[in-house]
Structures are given as structure tokens and as C-alpha cells.
């Protein structure tokens, strides 16, 4: 019988994240909303979208609701966001 032992003194693997460039100007852009399906996530996202609209004229271009907070956004939904919006806000709730 083989027993695997975890060494808690090992260093975590480092990885880098490459962020997309931020828009230079927010006027009249389209926002995508990703609702993670947590309680109040949709309400929070809609309030953020409303403020973005009143300050910058930003419109909601596409909305995605995840199956559950633990599930990733589907490839189809990501493709739709890329096609329809300039940037995306992913919401939390609780």
C-alpha cells in the first residue's frame, strides 16, 4: 500500500495573471454583467449598472447568470460577452 504525504513546508506554485487593458474613457460603453447566482448578486450588479449609466451613459450589453457560484462561466457565455460588451463586471452577493 502506498501513502502520499503532503509536505506543508513546500512553496506554492506561482503563476502570473495577464489583465486586459482598461478603457481610457468610459463614456457610452457597453457593460456585461456576470451574476454568480449568490443571494443579492443580481441586485448589486443592477445597481452598479444603474450608477455607471447615470455617470457615463453606459448601457447593459449582455447579462450572464452562472448555474452556481462554484461553476465557471461557459465558453459560449464568454464568447457572447467578448462580442457584445466593452468590459464586464462579475458580481458577488450575500
The ranges assigned to domains in the chain are: 30-91
Residues of the chain scoring pLDDT < 70: 93-94
Whole-number pLDDT of residue 94: 63
Mind listing the pLDDT tens digit for each residue in 10-27? 777 888 989 888 899 999
Q: What is the DSSP string of the chain?
A: -------TTSPPPP----PPPPPS--TT-EEEEEE---TTHHHHHHHHHHHHHHHH--EEEEEEE-SSTTSPPPHHHHHHHHHH-SEEEEE---
Whole-number pLDDT of residue 9: 82
Amino acid at each position: 500500500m502506498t501513502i502520499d504525504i503532503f509536505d506543508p513546508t513546500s512553496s506554492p506554485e506561482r503563476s502570473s495573471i495577464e489583465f486586459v487593458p482598461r478603457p481610457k474613457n468610459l463614456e457610452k460603453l457597453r457593460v456585461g454583467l456576470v451574476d454568480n447566482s449568490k443571494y443579492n448578486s443580481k441586485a448589486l450588479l443592477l445597481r452598479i449598472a444603474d450608477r455607471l449609466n447615470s455617470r457615463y451613459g453606459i448601457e447593459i450589453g449582455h447579462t450572464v447568470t452562472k448555474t452556481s457560484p462554484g461553476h465557471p462561466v461557459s465558453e459560449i457565455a464568454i464568447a457572447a460577452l467578448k462580442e457584445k460588451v466593452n468590459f464586464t463586471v462579475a458580481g458577488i452577493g450575500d
